[in-house]
Amino acid sequence: MTGSSPDSGNTATALFEPSPEFRADANAGPELQEAADKDRLAFWADQAARLHWHEPWSEVLDWSGGAAGAEPAERPSYVAKWFVGGQLNVAYNCVDRHVLDGHGDQVAIHFEGEPGDSRNITYSELLAEVSQAANYLTEIGLEAGDRVAIYMPMIPEAIISMLACARLGLTHSVVFAGFSPSALRQRVDDAEARLVITTDGQWRRGKAAPLKEAVDEALYANGGTPHSVEHVLVVRRTNLEIEWTDGRDVWWHETVAKASTEHEAQPFDAEHPLFILYTSGTTGKPKGIVHTTGGYLTQASYTHHNVFDHKAGKDVYWCTADIGWVTGHTYIVYGPLSNRTTQVVYEGTPNSPDEHRHWNIVEKYGVSIYYTAPTLIRTFMKWGRQIPQAHDLSSIRVLGSVGEPINPEAWRWYREVIGANKAPIVDTWWQTETGAIMISPLPGVTATKPGAAMAPLPGISVKIVDDEGNDVTDSEKEADFSVRSAGSAHVGYLVLDQPWPAMLRGIWGDMERYKATYWEKFAEQGWYFAGDGARYDEDGALWVLGRVDDVMNVSGHRISTSEVESALVGHSGVAEAAVVGASDETTGQGIVAFVILKGSTENTGDALVTELKAHVSKDISPIAKPREIHIVPELPKTRSGKIMRRLLRDVAEGRELGDTSTLVDPKVFEDIRAAR
């Protein structure tokens, strides 16, 4: 088991019941679960009716791809089809229909730039700008099904670009603007993107940092080897000087901003690919997770409405994620906009110009729903409660958490200091692959417990099972992974035993890997294995414990151990590397690397460690930079040559060593400890 356990050992904690006032006015009520229990597919059909469909569907779900089959020809593809035959346009649902319904003057986006500039964009203005972008992308010859890479900071044009792609049936691939040129190139190549949309630079802690430069570097990588990109569309954000390739590069303000503001949205099939989003797996190569249109938007809209109790035209919503991650896709762009949300979009870091920034923004716009990650909550705790307490946060009425298990201490602080002991907290479990929230309390319905994600949402079905697939509540046996949490009854693997509308439809270009990664472990039963461990406590509350595979979770970012290992061995001085995630007070997990140098490499100590850290940071992204690197003479291996990461984790976390009996040479640890 990786990850810091949220388990305080004290699970008999009092429940926080929804207040009668909240309950009385909540979007969700007990009837949701009743309806889902009665007829799950009819329930989802009702949710899909939240959207505007140009053509109705003929069948809610076709799961013929998921039936277990023995003969090769009948082997399942595990690709679900939801709302078969239905047609819709995502951008129409997120923008046009609100304007047509008479809400064109409602603010869609309160944009707050890092340097202090701000801009309010109404739904009418959003429609005009999305239409302009759609017209220009059509003019340069892009057609439905083509891929577009979006490599941008958190500015309105990033959202406009995503919506313009959705409007035209172009499949977008958003690449986090903190990723390196080589990471960008890898993603551009994998999806064969025809267009990259970027900015000249981005604001970070008061400074303009280049961004277009990284695109140039990516596209010229490997001596300018051919790539699929025909155009680079550049938004001017910082006025930094940039290199320019005539014919390829175009300015947004000279093209999109001059295009017609009229554009008619065409419908696309419910299973048309909406986006690809790359995420880390257990091997070095990122996986291009594919999401489609109708089912995805249905679940995005349903969950945003019910989990956040969002009231259109009344609430001011703020999700602090970046559009480079799935949280930004589903809970900044598609869920909120489909529900006619007024939301804050903030460009920068939480401490620019100082630690008051978020609370200034909450006060300025009267934010009522605030959705963030445990790592940031722990950072706020470190900065001290006097900072939020210097502000009027009384507008806040719902608080959300996502990205990693939230420890009960952070949960309590969040409720007390930010939520004035009354705002319900929704701890939402989901993944890039699930597309939308799967497990979460429903405010106004579910009593909550500090640290627990509580229960699957109505319409979603989960199980916690042992290695054979037995329900852990019925079984004495626990799953075969080492669990450190105290008093952990009923621990096992988290599986999804029924298809859900926003589920991934595959890995771009690698359907074999899709099957192997998610469906092999419980192939017999046909269940999706999420990669997380979970448990029920004695009250039946569900706790997600974190990854059970070689995926680390650093500040809510998913990073594979092998990705960092391959970056390290990519350095000319390194012979071998092993990477583990060790628990970290602020970031959840921190990356700890053990490296063996090549014989010819001189061990310069700290200087070399600094160089190696910078190397990983540049090769992948600053988020993948190891917290510690230890230069060691040897790595612990089994007789079959497998690195014993579990033992390295024990070392990294300063624990007594676990079972070392399968090691070739148990003495390597004395050397490793000496090197620490």
Q: Shortest distance, CB of residue 277 to ligand WT7, whole angstroms?
A: 9
With respect to ligand WT7, which residue has the nearer C-beta, 303 or 432? 432
Is 413 marked within a binding site? no
With respect to ligand WT7, which residue has the nearer C-beta, 229 or 544? 544
With respect to ligand WT7, which residue has the nearer C-beta, 158 or 229? 158
The yes or no reply on residue 269 touching ligand WT7 (CB under 6 A) is no
Is 405 marked within a binding site? yes
The yes or no reply on residue 430 touching ligand WT7 (CB under 6 A) is yes
| 501: nearest Cα among 92, 60, 166, 39 | 60
Q: Which residue has the tokens 């680079």?
A: 232
| 105: nearest Cα among 90, 120, 88, 89 | 120
User: What distance in Å separates the CA atoms of residue 215 and residue 49, rounded to the nearest whole number?
Assistant: 41
Residue 597 bridge partners (DSSP): 574
**Which H helix or E strand runs over 112?**
strand 107-112
Is 432 marked within a binding site? yes
Is 417 marked within a binding site? no
Is 421 marked within a binding site? no
**Which H helix or E strand runs over 493?**
strand 491-496
Size of the site for ligand WT7 (CB under 6 A): 23
Q: Shortest distance, CB of residue 472 to ligand WT7, whole angstroms?
A: 17
- Tell which positions 512-571 bind ligand WT7, by CB under 6 A: 530-532, 544, 546-547, 553, 556, 558
The yes or no reply on residue 431 touching ligand WT7 (CB under 6 A) is yes
Is 327 marked within a binding site? yes
With respect to ligand WT7, which residue has the nearer C-beta, 282 or 601? 282
- In the complex, which residue's CB is closest to ligand WT7? 432
Q: Shortest distance, CB of residue 402 to ligand WT7, whole angstroms?
A: 5
User: What distance in Å separates the CA atoms of residue 141 and residue 371, rounded to the nearest whole number?
Assistant: 38
User: What distance in Å separates the CA atoms of residue 453 and residue 455, rounded to the nearest whole number?
Assistant: 6
Q: Shortest distance, CB of residue 373 to ligand WT7, whole angstroms?
A: 8
Q: Which stretch binds ligand WT7 (CB under 6 A): 37-45, 79-87, 379-387, 396-404?
A: 396-404
User: What distance in Å separates the CA atoms of residue 552 and residue 295, rounded to the nearest whole number?
Assistant: 29
Q: Shortest distance, CB of residue 516 to ligand WT7, whole angstroms?
A: 17
Is 571 marked within a binding site? yes
**Binding residue for ligand WT7 (CB under 6 A) from 255, 432, 446, 498?**
432
**Binding residue for ligand WT7 (CB under 6 A) from 202, 299, 303, 327?**
327
**Binding residue for ligand WT7 (CB under 6 A) from 279, 303, 375, 446?**
279
Q: Shortest distance, CB of residue 650 to ligand WT7, whole angstroms?
A: 21
In sign, the C-alpha dihedral spanning 51, 52, 53, 59 is positive
The yes or no reply on residue 287 touching ligand WT7 (CB under 6 A) is no
Where b means 16+ CB within 10 Å and e means fewer, 217-227 reads bbbebeeeeeb
Contact between 66 and 499 (Cβ < 8 Å): yes
The total of other beta-carbon atoms located within 10 Å of residue 414's CB is: 26
Q: What are phi and psi of 109, to 5 degrees?
A: -130, 120
Residue 552 buriedness (CB in 10 A; 0-12 / 13-18 / 19+): buried
In sign, the C-alpha dihedral spanning 585, 586, 589, 594 is negative
Q: What are phi and psi of 171, to 5 degrees?
A: -90, 115
Contact between 534 and 451 (Cβ < 8 Å): no
With respect to ligand WT7, which residue has the nearer C-beta, 326 or 567? 326
Is 517 marked within a binding site? no
Q: Shortest distance, CB of residue 546 to ligand WT7, whole angstroms?
A: 5
Per-residue x/- track, 434-473, ligand WT7 (CB under 6 A):
-------------------x--------------------
Contacts 24+ apart (CB under 8 A), 262-266: 262/131, 262/135, 263/130, 263/131, 263/132, 263/134, 263/135, 263/167, 265/89, 265/91, 265/92, 265/96, 265/134, 265/167, 266/89, 266/169
**Binding residue for ligand WT7 (CB under 6 A) from 404, 466, 537, 550?**
404
Residues that constitute the known binding site: 204-207, 327, 351, 403-405, 427-432, 532, 547, 555, 558, 569, 571, 574
Residues in contact with ligand WT7 by CB under 6 A are 279, 326-327, 402-405, 427-432, 453, 530-532, 544, 546-547, 553, 556, 558
Residues that constitute the known binding site for ATP: 403-405, 427-432, 532, 547, 558
Residues that constitute the known binding site for Mg(2+): 569, 571, 574
